Structure formats: structure tokens, C-alpha cells
Structure 1
Amino acid sequence: MPTFPANDVLLRPLFEVPVDEVVRLYIDNRTFLKPFEPPRPDAYFTRGGQRELLDTAERLWQGGSAYTFAICRRAENDQPSSMVGRLTLSNIVRGAWHSCTVGYFVSQRCNGQGIATQALSHAVDFAFQTAELHRVQAAIMPRNKASIRVVEKVGFHCEGWPNTTSTSMGFGRTTLSTASRRSCGHLAAGTNDQVTATATSFSGFSERDRGRLMQTALRALRASPSRG
């Protein structure tokens, strides 16, 4: 199975990580993740609950319908790497669309160290090069400023607000839709991977004006109060 080293960050298939390490990560971050995830039953934070999820992750990986990674930090002195987060490429659609969505988190104790940025960059590489997808999309709560900064650094661009709000957590949440995808030139000519602006909300504008409008939208999001 592939891993993607860069500095001190690796992505490993989640099902290759010891289940106790996964359980420990979720227990340590249970309170931290609560505002961003759907309600979790107590069984989710047990060895049995996570073992079932790891088995499902392996089955989906083998079927090509989802790829779930452990975000691992390379240890010093040749010690084993430790799991510090999780990242999933899911909702994979083939045919003409060839797209997926991405979700991720990094342990609270490791926030602000650039780990999420490195992990997301490698996940985009995997999506485009290995999974042969054309588009990776993320939906981010507007109050999650840190995650907005992460996707910006990796080359994602604002597409705007969806018409509906997600109710997966039992209450309405407005999400910022962002996306990253390969250029048509890459598909035709096999050049190096490129992340191109996707601005379907601004399709009537020139490329230069679209870029300006997207940057204006992102600045407005940072300055606005929570809409969740």
C-alpha cells in the first residue's frame, strides 16, 4: 500500500494501523471533534467499534469507492510513526465526473504545525495520480477558519455557498463549498499535476476576474461571523 512522505508526515491506509492506536486518537479528541462531527455512540470509541470501521475501510478501499488514511507523523531516531489524524476520500463518482469529497482532522495537540496541509496535499496527489480522479471537493463550516486556510494552501478555491444546509449533525449547518481539480491540459498532455481554479458561481467572468472574485469571497468569509 502507498505512503506519501513529505518532511515528517505520512499517509497510511487506515486499516494498516493498529486498532488500539486509532481508538486512542478518537478518545483523546472526543471533545475536540464533537462540534464538527455527527453524534457518536459510545461504542464508536471502543476497540470493537473501531475494528468494525477498519474492516469497512479496507473493503471500501479494495472496491475503489473510498480511501481512508491515517495521518502519521514520522518519529525521530527511526522509531515507528504515530497516528495524529485521519483523512478520507469518499463519495467517489466515476464515469464522466471522476470526483470525490475529502474530509480530515488532525489531533488537537498537533494543530498549527502544518500537518493537515501536508496530508491534504498528498491526498490530492493520490486522488489525481493513483485513483485517477479529476476533482476533489471539500465542504467546510465557515467558522472553521483553520480548515479554510488549509485548503487554500493546497490550491483549493471557493465555489460559493450551497443552496441547502447539511443536517447530518442533527442541526442545520451552512458549509462553504470548495474544490480542487486537474486541468484539462493535464488530462490531454500528461503534464505535471496542476490544481486549477473552479468557480462555477462565476462562470460568466474572465479567468482573471474569477480569481479576483474568489479571493474577495474568501476574505469576506474570514471577516464574517459564524453562519452555522
Structure 2
Amino acid sequence: MLNSNLGGPLLWAAIVTRRLELKTQRLTLRLGTTDDIPAILHYYQTNRAYLEPFEPQRPDRFYTRDFWQTVLASRATDFHTGYGVKLLILLQNEPDQVIGTINLNTIVRGALHGATLGYGLSAQHQGQGYMTEAGQRLIAYAFDELNLHRIMANYLPHNHRSANVLKRLGFAIEGMARDYLFINGQWQDHVMTSLVNPNWQMPEL
């Protein structure tokens, strides 16, 4: 059953009938499959110490194949029902290596037509412009094809890399949310930002 808040069932039906794969000059952004599980596990295991300070605490089973079979099935459902777009980031010249993730979380239609942007990148691929490149492509997809009006993104005040990525992507700071998310075992403040689609169109009902 499709999300009843979607901006027109025909528009969404056209989107989900094809396999989502977004290309940039250097990257491929796509939905994960069970064939990707070894690469996903390698990404998270290799970058565990690097990612943990910026993410919720993970259960031990997070690093197992069974866990990711369930996660990928849930992500496929979210995509096809219009609740989220959660993609792997891969280099085009190394298509079997996951170097990061980028997501449109909690897509809401109705009076909002918005989503929350989330992302992560491996330690060894920092500082090369990959996350900005991936963000630009996903934002274009969100605004031009999903017709979202607003994308929100939040970051820890000390996460300067994330702040710089969002600045390059055009996000505007809106304020500070106290104890906003339970990250790395404690409630932490987050800087709130957003990006608005200047070309948003009222969906046909």
C-alpha cells in the first residue's frame, strides 16, 4: 500500500517501477541488495571506530548477515511505499566497494513534503569531495523527481566536516536543538539546517 501522503500516486508509481541508481561523475548511489552484504559489513567493520562517535549505538547483531538481510528488505519496502530512500555510495571504478551511505529519511507529504538527510563516509575517503558530490545528486533527485519541498539535516556542533558539507550543499542554519538525538550513548545537541526547493510544484490530486 502506498503512503497516502504521497504527491500523486501516478508520479510515485512511475518512480518505483524502475530500479533506482543515481550516477555522478565518480559515484554510483543505489539501493543495496543481499549481494552487497559482504561489502556493507566490511564498510561498517572497517570504519567502526571512526563512525561510532557520530551514530546511535549499534546492537552486536548489526555486524551480521542476518541483520542486514532484514535491514535491506525494510529499506526496499520504505522505498516502494515512499517513506525513505536509503542508498549505498560506491565508486564507479570500484563498484564492489561500499564507501558510504546517504539517505532521505522519514519522507512526509501532506503539508510538509519534506525529508531528513543522513549520510556517512569511510575514513579513507574523506577530504575528496565525495559526500558533496553524492549530496548534490540526491538533492537533485529529491527536488526534481520526488518533488520534495524541504530537506532537513542536523549535525553535532563539533562535526566540522559535516558542517562544511552542508554549507557547500547550500543548507541554511536554523538553530540549535538541545539533547536532540541519542548518539554514541548520550543525548547530544545538534545544529539544525534545511534546504528548500525553489521550484516545488503543487502535486495533482
* TM-score by shorter chain over 0.5: yes
Q: Does 1:32 align with 2:42?
A: no
Measure the CA separation in 2 of the matches of 1:99 and 1:188.
13
Partner of 1:20: 38
Partner of 1:70: 88
Q: Which has the higher contact order (CA 8 A, sep 6+)?
A: 2
Measure the CA separation in 2 of the matches of 1:87 and 1:188.
25
Of 12, 17, 22, 1:4 maps to: 22
Q: Quick check: 116-125 or 17-26, which moved more?
A: 17-26
Q: Is the 8 A contact 2:181 2:190 kept in 1?
A: no
* Secondary structure at 1:187 match in 2: coil
Amino acid at match of 1:187: W
Which segments of structure 1 move beyond 3 Å, counting only runs of 4 or more?
A: none
Q: Is the 8 A contact 1:74 1:82 kept in 2?
A: no
Q: How many angstroms does 1:187 deviate by?
A: 3.0
Of 59, 77, 89, 2:77 maps to: 59
Relative to structure 1, the CA distance from residue 81 to residue 181 in structure 2 (aligned partners, 3 Å threshold; closer, same or farther) is farther
* Secondary structure at 2:23 match in 1: coil
Q: Is the 8 A contact 2:143 2:200 kept in 1?
A: no
Give TM-score, length-normalised by structure 2: 0.84
Relative to structure 1, the CA distance from residue 88 to residue 188 in structure 2 (aligned partners, 3 Å threshold; closer, same or farther) is closer
Q: Which runs of 5+ in 1 are unaligned?
A: 190-228
Give TM-score, length-normalised by structure 1: 0.76
Partner of 1:148: 163
Partner of 2:179: 165
* Secondary structure at 2:33 match in 1: helix
Q: Which runs of 5+ in 2 are unaligned?
A: 1-18
Amino acid at match of 1:171: Q
Q: Does 1:91 align with 2:103?
A: no
Measure the CA separation in 1 of the matches of 2:156 and 2:100.
19
Relative to structure 1, the CA distance from residue 17 to residue 150 in structure 2 (aligned partners, 3 Å threshold; closer, same or farther) is farther
Q: How many angstroms does 1:153 deviate by?
A: 0.7
1:86-125 aligned at under 5 Å gives the runs 86-125=101-140
More strand by share: 2
Q: Deviations over 1:16-58 (max 9, x none)?
A: 7621111111111111111111111111011111111111111
Measure the CA separation in 2 of the matches of 1:138 and 1:187.
19
Q: Does 1:131 align with 2:146?
A: yes
Q: Deviations over 1:73-97 (max 9, x none)?
A: 111xxx6353210111111110111
Identity of aligned residues (%): 28
Amino acid at match of 2:187: G
Measure the CA separation in 2 of the matches of 1:140 and 1:133.
21
Partner of 1:214: none
RMSD: 1.7
Measure the CA separation in 1 of the matches of 2:154 and 2:160.
12
Q: Does 1:177 align with 2:195?
A: no
